[in-house]
């Protein structure tokens, strides 16, 4: 039996993650509010941002910027995109 969560990204009940995606309170919060589908979608977007923006995950400022983008992504706010990116209608 799959556990579901009301996903704040997709605004509906969807299968939940089976383990927190990161340690600590933030991981617990994400597990309770974000579906597995939304997390997978974010991972893809995150990879694009890291590559296109040439982020260095060893730098605190780059990590903080990426976390801010993650928050915006899950809250359906405007987020950064790769240059030349065109959303599908």
pLDDT tens digit string along 16-43?
999 999 999 999 999 999 999 999 999 9
The pLDDT value given to residue 81: 81
Task: Give the separation between CA 40 and CA 11, rounded to whole angstroms.
Answer: 16
Burial of 38 (0-12, 13-18, 19+ CB in 10 A): buried
Q: What is the mean pLDDT of the chain?
A: 92
Q: What is the pLDDT of residue 1?
A: 47
For tokens 């974000």, the residue is 34
Q: Global pTM?
A: 0.86
Quick one: CA torsion of 80, 83, 84, 86, rounded to 10 degrees? -10
Which domains, and CATH codes, for the chain? 4-74 (1.10.3880.10)
Tens digits of per-residue pLDDT, 69-89?
999 999 999 998 877 656 665
* Half-sphere exposure in the Cβ direction for 4 (13 Å, CA): 6
């Amino acid at each position: 039996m799959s556990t579901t969560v009301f996903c704040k990204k997709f605004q509906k009940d969807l299968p939940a993650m089976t383990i927190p995606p990161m340690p600590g309170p933030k991981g617990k919060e994400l597990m309770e509010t974000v579906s597995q589908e939304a997390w997978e979608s974010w991972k893809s977007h995150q990879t694009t941002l890291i590559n296109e923006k040439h982020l260095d995950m060893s730098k605190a400022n780059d990590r903080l910027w990426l976390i801010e983008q993650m928050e915006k992504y899950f809250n359906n706010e405007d987020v950064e995109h790769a240059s030349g990116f065109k959303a599908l209608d």
